[in-house]
Amino acid sequence: MSAAYTYILKCADGTLYTGWTTDLVKRVKAHNEGRGAKYTRGRVPVRLCYFEEFDDKTAALSREWQIKHLSRREKLALIDKFDR
């Protein structure tokens, strides 16, 4: 099995987007080229500001769900801890 990632992007309008992928570089590039999620298409450029690595897709999807249910403040705290 290949690694899977859960990530948070900061969009050009300041909003946050959470997703998962098996290839971070390719996925962020797709978001910035307008081929990512519908949500990010009108909010480019996006910047990768947080990610976690998992052994499989199931774990990454589970973590994505958890993060999506956090408040903006909690997401920003995750990003802040990650940036240090």
pLDDT tens for 11-62 read: 999 999 999 999 999 999 999 999 989 999 999 999 999 999 999 999 999 9
3: Cβ contacts below 8 Å, ≥ 6 apart: 22, 53, 54, 55
Range of 9's domain?
4-83
Rounded Cα–Cα distance for residues 17 and 66 (Å): 13
CATH number of 44's domain: 3.40.1440.10
Q: Which two tokens stand for residue 80?
A: 């802040």
Element (H, E) at 27: helix 24-32
Count of domains forming the chain: 1
Cut 0.85: pTM above it:
yes
Report pLDDT for 84: 64
